[in-house]
Amino acid sequence: MSRLSIGIVGLPNVGKSTLFQALTAVAVPAENYPFCTIDPNVGIVEVPDQRLHRLGDLAPRERRVPTVIEFLDIAGLVEGASRGEGLGNRFLSHVRDVDAIVHVVRFFEDPSVARADDQLEEEADPLRDREIVETELALADLETVEHALDKADRKARSGDRQAQALETVLRRVRGRLEVGQPARRESVDGQETRLLRSLSLLTMKPVLYVANLAEDQLAEEKRITGAFREMVRRDDPEAETIEIAARLEADLLELEPEERAEFLEGLDLAENGLARFIQAGYRLLGLHTFFTIGEEEVRAWTVRIGAKAPEAAGRVHTDFERGFIRAETIHFADFERMGSMREAREQGLVRSEGKDYVVQDGDILFFRAAG
Ligand code: GDP
Q: For ligand 1, is residue 102 a contact (CB within 6 Å)?
A: no
What was the pLDDT predicted at 255?
80
Q: For ligand 1, is residue 255 a contact (CB within 6 Å)?
A: no
Q: For ligand 1, is residue 214 a contact (CB within 6 Å)?
A: yes
Asked whether 250 and 21 are in contact (CB, 8 A), the reply is yes
The CA 247 to ligand 1 mean position distance, Å, reads 7
* Across 58-76, average pLDDT: 89
Which ligand 1 atom is at minimum distance from the Cα of 73? 4
pLDDT at 275 over 90: no
What was the pLDDT predicted at 274?
81
Alpha-carbon gap, residue 299 to 28, rounded angstroms: 15
Asked whether 291 and 329 are in contact (CB, 8 A), the reply is no
Give the closest residue to 120 by CA, choosing from 128, 131, 110.
128
pLDDT at 88 over 70: no
* Residues belonging to the chain: 371
pLDDT at 30 over 90: no
Backbone angles phi, psi at 356, to 5 degrees: -95, 0
What was the pLDDT predicted at 106?
94
* Across 168-195, average pLDDT: 93
Residue 271 binned pLDDT confidence (cut-offs 50, 70, 90): low
The predicted model scores a pTM of 0.82
CA-nearest residue for atom 21, ligand 1, is 247
- CA dihedral sign of residues 251, 257, 261, 263: negative
Cβ atoms within 10 Å of 50's Cβ, excluding its own: 7
pLDDT at 1 over 50: no
- Pocket probe for ligand 1: among 14, 16, 18, 19, the residue whose CB has the most ligand atoms within 8 Å is 18
What was the pLDDT predicted at 251?
87
Q: For ligand 1, is residue 316 a contact (CB within 6 Å)?
A: no
- CB-count burial class (<10 Å; 0-12, 13-18, 19+) for 231: middle
Q: For 71-85, 140-154, 221-235, which range has the lowest pLDDT when averaged over its residues?
A: 71-85
pLDDT at 238 over 70: yes
Residue 49 binned pLDDT confidence (cut-offs 50, 70, 90): confident
Give the closest residue to 1 by CA, choosing from 303, 359, 291.
303
- Pocket probe for ligand 1: among 13, 91, 122, 277, the residue whose CB has the most ligand atoms within 8 Å is 13
